[in-house]
Structure 1
Amino acid sequence: MRAQYKLVVGFLFFTLISNAQFTPDCRSSIPVCGDAPISGIADGRGDIDDFDPDVIRQTGCLEKGSNSSANIENNTSWYVFRALKDGTIGFDISADTDTAEWDFAVYGPDTDCASISNGTAQPVRCNYEANNTAFTGLGTNPESGQEGFSFVKGSKNTYDELLDIAEGEIYYILINNYNTNFDGDPEPFTLTFTEDVDALDCTFRDEFLGLDVNACEGDPDVVLNAFRSPVGPDVASVRWSVDYDDDGTIDDPNLATGTEYTVTSPNTGRYFVEITTASGAPPTVTDDILINFHAPPNPADIEITVIDYLVDRNKIEVLVNGTSEYEYAINGGEFQDETLFHDVPPGQNTLIVNDKYGCGQSEEIPFLVIGYPKFFTPNGDGVHDGWNVLGIEELVDAKVYIYDRYGKLLKQLGPGVTWNGMFNGKKMPESDYWFRMEYAEPEEGVIVAKTLQNHFTLKR
């Protein structure tokens, strides 16, 4: 939207619960459900850039725009909800001032904040339109009666379509105030769920510390807020504790007190809070959250093992001694989760290890696979013109003997020497040729003589 006119909730009430209903960062999204209106505020983009303004210029219908000062996430608030059962969900976002202009995007299911912020996950519902109503959302505009439909730029449509949800699915809602994109002034709004509101899981609010966080080492602090619990300001005391290894054993049962606790990088762990209420009803509430700080792989911790080299189907296996989850690519190919690579070409290759949480990747790591080409084409074009065992220089006392199909010795090779397909000044015909390689290899401190025999093809 691009104009708002309606005052819905008094400022005194909003001030009372603002701490419980505001977060500008996706990773600390507030769990909500459909049993009551939610008063929120948008006040800046938080401690981290959920969308890098220099990289992510658009996500769904939300866009940075041509103004260099604009940013998708200025003056935003994040919420998250979980489906209790299958159903259909809508919501209304209503303006609580006459100056705010609210836009939104809904992400999910089966996504996380890292996928949202890097642009991998795109909104399933979105609105970024200018209009003259105080409402936007999913479903039907209660002020104008306009039915929602898929976003069309410039349509002045205030509502997107209702959202079908399935049991257990989790969705994130980003609410953004466009009008204060450049001044950072906070403004309030009211979020109200519609349609099958009983399809939303209200026990999700008991997880008031939010969903588990995956961050990168060096990221800004993660601030945990006990005021977001279902008891709100009914707090007599708060106690924080931590299990750093997440192994079921509390490492520090008296980590801190106070309604907020700040987790700094790289203090990975499962953090617990116990709130004693002032009213005694209920006497206590608890929650926990796992915060993982990930790091790019250290090259010294990456081990490449060549399995069964000098055979027809070379394999390598990658082992990383790191603190995160990784994916792997060789020779500029696609990344894969599997650490085993099949059919690795002989000769020099490269490996890249990428942190799956967006915390960086290694430089290209060269590695050598000792093996032989299955064919060569000595036609003078500079490609596959010569043949030898690739990586032979890494072997001990290696010699290669090439024979024709009748067992006639045609050439003896060593490191730095290739066969050009000639014998006694004549071009040898297209055919399969055989080779025998003799070399030595250390085994348990003893040099053992070995022999390899196989064949390759000369093509012209």
Structure 2
Amino acid sequence: MRTLICGVGLLLLFSLGVNAQNSPDCRTAIPVCADAPIMGVADGAGDIEDFDPEVIRTSGCLERGSLTPGGIEHNTSWFVFRAGTGGQVGFDLEALPVTGSGSPTAEWDFAVYGPDVDCADISSGDAQPIRCNYEVNNTNFTGIGVNPESGQVGAPNVPQSQNTYDEWLDVQPGEIYYILINNYNTNFDGDPEPFMLTFTGNSVEDDQNTALDCTLRDEFLGLDIIACEGDPDITLSALNTPAGPDINNVVWTVDYEDDGVVDDTLPGSGPFGAEYVVTSPNSGRYFAEVTTASGSPPTVADVGGILITFYGMPVLDRVDILDSNLSLDPDLNNIEILIDGDGSYEYAINGGEFQDDPFFNDVPPGVNTVIINDKNGCGITEPIEFLVVGYPKFFTPNNDGVHDVWSVYGLETITEATVSIFDRYGKLLRQLNANTIGWDGTLNGRPLPSTDYWFRLDHAGQEDAILIATPVKSHFTLKR
């Protein structure tokens, strides 16, 4: 039966090349199902480096080569699947001849990433393959499970073991996995090379229509993409729909705000307008509706579309001093780092470790530094200086020479600075500037009672290119 499928597949592959699916980039990985073999043709390494050649030298068993272009990827294809049922899943990756009567030229390698990682995790090296094979192969097959040609049973990858099959995957419903198929050993010039990918395992044998979630294939534009401003263009394709080559025309639309309202109709490119190129920084949810040539069905659409989000280099907006202090030291402050942007960030101050939380406790007054890293890989700032304006959390105006007046530390260093002091009802009691010594706890010469008072600091902004961190609205205590 396998021979029949292969023969029919080859006939389709070479007579209707549009059926051969390929995406050489992770971010446009093709959603697949287990209900039929997938015919693919790898044709180069794609528009972007999925693994930064200056940083990532290995990904699992796959290694960066010494020949041009010297990256991990050469002739590559990326696929993504979502488990439909729990159980055992594997696949056979079969090398096919470039021509119908020739011999296969490719020696395929592969890596599987998951569950539930994304392309940013894979590209950064944070996600490593859970299955990987890079062994020398004297059969036309590699994969997960059992080699149908040699009967070799898959086992955990051991370098130079010459076992070209890895052990089965045990999956749970809803889990998402990425498959990277790569021909490294025998082809360095990007010539197109065909293969066939067939899913196996007990869950597939039980029901090939439900083992993998075939509704993912309806999301033919792919899973949502996170990209960085300035990244290469992203080419969306409507050629991977369940309708295959049965296309009359394609209509592209976009919802730029992802608010459920379509903002524009877009011109496609290529035959039937079946491709659309998204350029940075045009974030939005993109849709494609295919009108079939046969009229059965009349249309095929990716109803949910694909959300593409471009993130830029982190930009520090401001630093706020919070109205809270968990430290026993009254001169230390709690701060919040605020960013101009909506990326996923981590922060480090004064040379410390990075943390996801933008709140920091026990920050001393004076000049501090912060580094902001975009966790999507879209940039990291140099150390940015900011000035924490400190203030005493209490004062005791009893004329003993200690804490007799309240003031803001370093007020004289801030341009056009004014401190306004209020009671709990919002009544303005006193204003301070760089020329005043401080507040002695009186109003019109009359001592005010022991309680909490509030203040607001207004100023002209940055001082000598250093961002000034000021209290949003803070309070202090008068003690008698």
**Is TM > 0.5 for Structure 1 vs Structure 2?**
yes
Give the partner amino acid of 2:361: H
SS of equivalent to 1:70: coil
Kept after mapping to 2: 8 A contact 1:70/1:182: no
After superposition, the Cα gap between the structure-2 partners of 1:313 and 1:167, relative to the gap in structure 1 and judged at 3 Å, is farther
Query: Counterpart amino acid of 2:231?
Result: D
Asked whether 1:330 is paired with 2:349, we answer: yes
Q: Which residue of 2 aligns with 1:162?
A: 168
Separation in 2 of the partners of 1:349 and 1:19? 59
The answer to whether the 8 A contact 1:77-1:175 is kept is: yes
Would the alpha carbon gap of residues 439 and 370 (structure 1) be closer, same or farther in structure 2, given more than 3 Å must change? Answer: same
Aligned to 1:412: none
Query: Mean Cα displacement is larger for which, 140-149 or 319-328?
Result: 319-328
C-alpha contact (below 8 Å) 2:92/2:147 kept by paired residues: yes
Separation in 2, partners of 1:54, 1:95: 30
Of 196, 200, 209 in structure 2, the residue corresponding to residue 190 of structure 1 is 196
Equivalent-residue separation in structure 2 for 1:94 and 1:140 (angstroms): 13
- The CA deviation string for residues 380-417 of structure 1, in whole angstroms up to 9 with x for no partner, is xxxxxxxxx9xxxxxxxxx999x9xxx7x7xxxxxxxx
- Alpha-carbon contact 2:9-2:39 (below 8 Å) kept: no
2:273 equivalent to 1:261: no
Amino acid at match of 2:284: G
Matched residue, 2:407: 439
Residue 250 of structure 1 aligns with an amino acid whose one-letter code is V
Aligned-residue CA RMSD (Å): 2.7
Give the 3-state SS of the residue equivalent to 1:228 in structure 2.
coil
Please give the TM-score of this superposition, normalised by the length of structure 1: 0.79
Q: 1:270 to 1:348 in 2, by over 3 A?
A: same
One-letter code aligned to 1:35: D
- 1:295 aligns with 312
Q: Deviations over 1:148-205 (max 9, x none)?
A: 1111111111100100111111000000012344221111111000011232111111
How far apart in 1 are the matches of 2:216 and 2:375?
A: 27
1:358-377 per-position Cα deviation (integer Å, ceiling 9, x unaligned): 010222111233559xxxxx
Deviation track 1:281-305 (CA, whole Å, cap 9, x = no partner) reads 2111111111111101234xx2111
8 Å CA contact 2:350, 2:369 repeated in 1: yes
Task: Give the counterpart of 1:317 among 328, 336, 339.
Answer: 336
SS at match of 2:120: helix
* Change beyond 3 A, Cα 1:222–1:254: closer
CA contact under 8 A between 1:129 and 1:153: conserved in structure 2?
A: yes
Q: What's the TM-score, normalizing by structure 2?
A: 0.76
Q: Which amino acid aligns with 1:446?
A: Q
Secondary structure of the corresponding residue to residue 33 of structure 2: coil
Tell me how far apart the structure 2 counterparts of residues 84 and 339 of structure 1 sit (CA, whole Å): 38
Q: How many angstroms apart in 2 are the aligned matches of 1:268 and 1:254?
A: 14
The answer to whether the 8 Å contact 1:99/1:179 transfers is no
Q: Distance in 2 between matches of 1:122 and 1:318?
A: 32
Task: Work out whether 1:358 is the aligned partner of 2:377.
Answer: yes
Per-residue CA distance 1:333-382 (angstroms, 9 max, x = gap): 2322222112224433211111121010222111233559xxxxxxxxxx
Shift of 1:67: 4.3
Answering whether residue 319 of structure 2 is matched by residue 304 of structure 1, we say yes
Task: Give the match for residue 13 of structure 1.
Answer: 12
The residue type paired with residue 282 of structure 2 is: N
The number of equivalent residue pairs is: 392
Cα 1:322–1:50 change in 2 (3 A) is same
Structure 2 residue aligned with 1:368: 387
Deviation at 1:86?
1.1
Which one of 275, 286, 293 corresponds to residue 278 of structure 1?
A: 293
**CA distance 1:436–1:354, change in 2 (3 Å):** farther
Q: Partner letter of residue 443 of structure 1?
A: S
SS at match of 1:110: coil
Summarize the alignment of residues 205-244 of structure 1 with structure 2, pairs less than 5 Å apart.
205-244=217-256
Is 1:32 aligned with 2:49? Answer: no
Q: Which runs of 5 or more residues in structure 2 are unaligned?
A: 1-5, 98-103, 205-209, 409-417, 422-429, 441-475
1:38 maps to amino acid: I
Q: Secondary structure of the residue that 2:363 maps to in structure 1? A: coil
Match of 2:146 among 134, 140, 143: 140
CA distance in 2, matches of 1:435, 1:206: 71
- In structure 1, the partner of 2:426 is none
Q: How far did residue 256 of structure 1 move?
A: 4.3
Work out the CA distance in 2 between the residues paired with 1:357 and 1:111: 13
Q: Higher mean Cα deviation, 440-449 or 252-261?
A: 440-449
CA contact (8 A) 1:328 1:354 kept: yes
The aligned counterpart of 1:50 is 50
Aligned match of 2:444: none
Give the distance between the partners of 1:150 and 1:211, measured in 2 at CA: 29
Query: What is the aligned partner in structure 1 of residue 458 from structure 2?
Result: none
% identical equivalent positions = 60
Structure-2 separation of matches of 1:10 and 1:230: 16
Aligned-partner Cα distance in 2 for 1:436–1:172: 67
Q: Which moved more, 1:269-278 or 1:337-346?
A: 337-346
**Aligned partners of 2:268 and 2:274 also within 8 Å:** no
443-452 vs 286-295, which deviates more?
443-452
**Equivalent-residue separation in structure 2 for 1:238 and 1:69 (angstroms):** 35
> Any unmatched runs of 5+ in structure 1?
1-6, 373-388, 390-398, 410-433, 455-460
Gap change, CA 1:208 and 1:453, over 3 Å in 2: closer
**Aligned residue in 1 for 2:113:** 107
SS at match of 2:39: strand
Q: What one-letter code is carried by the residue in structure 1 that aligns with 2:211?
A: A
